[in-house]
Amino acid sequence: MTITETEPAADDAGTETPQGEFGDLASVVGSGDHVRIGRLFVGGSLIGLVASLVVGLLLDIERVTPAEVDVLDADVMVQLYSAHRLGLVLLFALPALIGLALVVVPLQVGASTVAFGRAANLAFWSWALGSALWIAGYLVGGGPGGSDLEGTDLWLLATIVVIASLCLATVCIVTTVLALRTTGMTLPRVPLFSFSMLVAGSIWLLTLPVAMGNLLIIYIDHRYDQALFGANEAILSQLAWLVGQPQIYVIAIPLLGIIGDVVPVFAGARQRMYAVSMGAIGVFGALSIGAWAQFGMPGLPIDESDVLGIADDPLFVAVGVLAVLPVLVVLGLGADTLRAGKVRLASPLIGALLTGLLLLIATVAGALYVIEPLELWGTTAFLGQFLLTVGAVIVGVVTGIWYWATKVIGRPLSEGIGRTLPLVLFVGALVSGAAYVAAGFIDEVDAPPGAIAVVPDGAEALNTVAAIGTGILLLGSFGIAVGLLGRREDDVPDDPWNGHTLEWATASPPVRGNFAEAPEVSDERPLFTDHAEEDASA
Amino acid sequence: MSAATPSVVVDLIPEDVPAHERERPRVLLYGTALVLVVIGMAFAGMFAVYFAQRAAFGEGWIPDGAGTIPLTPASVMLVTLAMSSITVQWVVWAISHDDRLNLYISSALTLVLSAAFLNQAVFLYDAMGWEVSGPDAIQAVLIYAITGSQIVMLIVAMCFLALMSFRALAGEYSARNHEGLTAAALFWHASVVAYFVIWAAIYNIK
């Protein structure tokens, strides 16, 4: 046994860490309990979501009259431009999916805990500290484009800490899937959400450190001489690939897993062509590797024969167009599974279908963006496609929280709110994203408000629509908080949905050690097979 | 069990590893490999910036005179680390044969070699005499960022190996279960490979 491993006793009920002389503080800060750490990540990411959406709404309100800055200073506006996009990825999407995975993945693969439980705990607290410093960097005017150069040093270091923490948590999840699967759980039998986290985590570990390496060089340059990247105006162009195609799809990979796990349960049928679904998730992951697709490098001379840079790169265009296909495959197989079974309409199914639809729209918008004759490069279509993808993640995370609520929260959540919320969030993301894509078609430039010289006719109306969409999204995100409120219940069902995978074979909330006895599986849907055998014998 | 192993050390070695321990998956090894992927990609990101800037700079990337990089100390550092790669593999061989005496000798030797490397790195930096401001700032920033990261990686490898060696001293590892030392050795080899790439791409090619 290593010092980073937590091996809880299997017979203790509940997920609470025993209290020592330091009481509650030690049980939160020093916990190796994957459920507790996962909850912390999910809770923290929801705060990040609200903060990022507030920033987005401020930007959208300013963008109603794109040529002028009405409410805030131009200096602040430039910083909010990066805070909105990077915040939605680093402070919401990645930690939310990591949090969900920390709770669910060990249960799905039949592990007694997550690998390196205390490292996962360290990852959360360093992410929380890094995020606080990241926001502080903006508050003192140190974000990209800001005027406080010492604040920029803080911002750069905080960004490195945030990314490193997310990578550490990802290592814990990927190791759990690779090394802690229970007896009989071969890789082809891993539930789709866990498999999608394996794929997504691998891609995160391959791409996010590239940003970390770049940021380290930028930090040293910025700290001492500013010879390479200048004061701080060139920083965002070094990180733009993180929020653009194809890299932005890395946050959407686990959504395919959530859809793949939810749909068969509410169809009451086995997932059609399981291996093909896995293959589609793998292909989507491979297409989303985006560290190579950097938009430009400061300090280098501009090649006059290649002013578009990556935009007319054949591989970049091909990847952007092909990304639609794996999403279509997963959704098609989901539809076929629904057709083959008897559909039960419940909140997770509604959420999963809306997630899939929004992701499909996002990938189609992405395909349009890279088709050169449409001339969308550099327009707000970039922002629209980003918002559609992030919107799909928001709906997907809500779906996951409601589906696995008894494991994540420890009690079932309101079915009424669970059915309404995904719809509200879907409408908000669609209105906001589609309006910006449409504004891209009339050549509205994607730049901070106030920095746009020419405003095309109709852009102000579309920007107003987009602002309304962001407002709906923000309202929806407050709705998530309302939906999560509630009292602890004593009689929580272990399996409220008649689930198919191993997480439903243990208590809600999970017992310490997750399973009283290590489970054994013989196919990819062990509980579905058990139910079918019981029905047959009856 | 080696005949050279003192009896006081033999007492620390578990008679047999429990069944569940034997079947335990190699979690630490997987985790270490994944962390190395992260480090490798961070280096890839830094090298991408380095090569792009170097290609754009053209002739005279490494200026003559005070800002030059002396190859001899850099090559001696490479030989030193290459030797440490052998001694760290000796650590793994020793524990896989339950040979505690050789384990302690090889661990100590590896740490001494790495300390020598750090000493040589200080000498090399002094000989280079570059400052991260002034006319050669771009080169200095890139070279110090990349080589400094490798030095940090080696220091982490030293701590990792020292920790695992202390655990072996406490009887934690044996021939049947020596995952911790294998993981530390894997991390060590990776830091040596990182330096080899730096030596080839920065110090040698210039």
Bridge partners, A514 (sequence order): A511
Q: Mutation target for A interface from B22, B28, B139: give the one with most A CBs within 10 A.
A: B28
Side-chain-facing half-sphere of B15: CA atoms under 13 Å: 0
Query: CA of A520: how far to CAs of A34, A175, A182, A455, in Å?
Result: 21, 19, 6, 63
Distance between CA atoms of residues A208 and A90, nearest Å? 10
Of A2, A5, A217, which is closest to B142 when you measure between CB atoms? A217
Least confident segment among A77-81, A208-212, A346-350, A406-410: A77-81
Least confident segment among A75-84, A312-321, A413-422, A442-451: A442-451
Pairwise CB contact (< 8 Å): B28 & A4: yes
**CA torsion sign, A134 to A55 to A197 to A420?**
positive
A10 pLDDT higher than 50: no
Closest-CA distance of chain A to residue B102, Å = 23
Q: Which residue of B has its CA nearest to A164?
A: B38
ipTM score for this prediction = 0.90
A206 touches chain B (CB under 8 A): yes
Closest-CA distance of chain A to residue B45, Å = 4
Written as one string, the DSSP assignment of A87-143 is: IIIIIIIHHHHHHHHHHHHHHHTT-SS-TTHHHHHHHHHHHHHHHHHHHHHHHTT-S
Burial class of A167 by CB neighbour count within 10 A (0 to 12, 13 to 18, 19+): buried
Higher pLDDT, A3 or A415: A415
A1 pLDDT higher than 70: no
A212 touches chain B (CB under 8 A): yes
What's the average model confidence in pLDDT over A233-237? 79
Q: Identify the contact set of chain B against chain A, taking CB-CB distances under 8 A.
A: 21, 25-28, 30-31, 34-35, 37-46, 48-49, 52-53, 56, 132-134, 137-138, 141-142, 144-145, 149, 179-180
Pairwise CB contact (< 8 Å): B46 & A228: no
What's the average model confidence in pLDDT over A386-394? 97
Residue B13: the pLDDT is 46
Residues of A in contact with B56 (CB under 8 A): 299-301
Residue A277: the pLDDT is 96
A227 touches chain B (CB under 8 A): yes
A19 pLDDT higher than 70: no
Distance between CA atoms of residues A457 and A401, nearest Å? 42
Residue type, A427: V
What 3-state DSSP class applies to A11? coil
pLDDT in tens, A251-300: 999 999 999 999 999 999 888 899 999 999 999 999 999 888 776 655 55
Written as one string, the DSSP assignment of A328-364 is: HHHHHHHHHHHHHS-----HHHHHHHHHHHHHHHHHH
Query: CA of A124: how far to CAs of A105, A288, A464, in Å?
Result: 17, 25, 37
pLDDT above 90 covers what percent of chain A? Answer: 61
Residue A403 — very low, low, confident or very high, per pLDDT cuts 50/70/90?
Answer: very high
Residue A2 — very low, low, confident or very high, per pLDDT cuts 50/70/90?
Answer: very low
Closest-CA distance of chain B to residue A524, Å = 21
Distance between CA atoms of residues B43 and A214, nearest Å? 9
Residue A434 — very low, low, confident or very high, per pLDDT cuts 50/70/90?
Answer: very high
Residue B172: the pLDDT is 86
A289 touches chain B (CB under 8 A): no
Closest-CA distance of chain A to residue B53, Å = 7
Pairwise CB contact (< 8 Å): B38 & A175: no
Side-chain-facing half-sphere of B66: CA atoms under 13 Å: 8
Distance between CA atoms of residues B94 and A535, nearest Å? 57
Provide the residue-wise pLDDT of chain B in tens; the chain has 206 residues. Answer: 444 555 544 444 444 444 444 455 789 999 999 999 999 999 999 999 999 888 888 777 776 655 578 889 999 999 999 999 999 999 999 999 999 899 999 999 999 999 999 999 999 988 887 777 777 788 888 999 999 999 999 999 999 999 999 999 888 888 888 899 999 999 999 999 999 999 999 988 87
Residue B64: the pLDDT is 64
Helix A274-287 / helix A192-224 crossing angle, nearest 10 deg? 10
Written as one string, the DSSP assignment of A225-273 is: T--SSTTTTTHHHHHGGGGSTTGGGGGTHHHHHHHHHHHHHHHTSPPTT
Tokens of A333: 């197989």
Nearby residues of A348 by Cβ (< 8 Å), 6 or more positions away: A262, A265, A266, A399, A402, A403, A418, A497
Nearest to B84 by CA among B119, B43, B35, B117: B117
Residues of A in contact with B179 (CB under 8 A): 2
Written as one string, the DSSP assignment of A439-464 is: HHHTT-B-S-TT--S---TTHHHHHH
Rounded to the nearest integer, the mean pLDDT of chain A is 88
Closest-CA distance of chain A to residue B14, Å = 14
Closest-CA distance of chain A to residue B89, Å = 21
Residue B66: the pLDDT is 54
Residue A6: the pLDDT is 40
Pairwise CB contact (< 8 Å): A171 & B141: no
Distance between CA atoms of residues A403 and A347, nearest Å? 8
A207 touches chain B (CB under 8 A): yes
Closest-CA distance of chain A to residue B192, Å = 19
Nearest to A207 by CA among A176, A236, A249: A249
Residues of A in contact with B40 (CB under 8 A): 209
Pairwise CB contact (< 8 Å): A210 & B141: no
A299 backbone φψ class: left, alpha, beta (φ>0; ψ -120 to 50)? left
A225 touches chain B (CB under 8 A): yes
A309 touches chain B (CB under 8 A): no
Q: Which residue of B has its CA nearest to A113?
A: B27
A299 touches chain B (CB under 8 A): yes
Pairwise CB contact (< 8 Å): B27 & A213: no
Most confident among A15-29, A142-156, A328-342 (mean pLDDT): A328-342
Residue B151: the pLDDT is 97
pLDDT in tens, A115-143: 999 999 999 999 999 999 999 999 998 88
Closest-CA distance of chain B to residue A393, Å = 24
Distance between CA atoms of residues A31 and A29, nearest Å? 6
Pairwise CB contact (< 8 Å): B49 & A178: no
A44 pLDDT higher than 90: yes
A175 touches chain B (CB under 8 A): yes
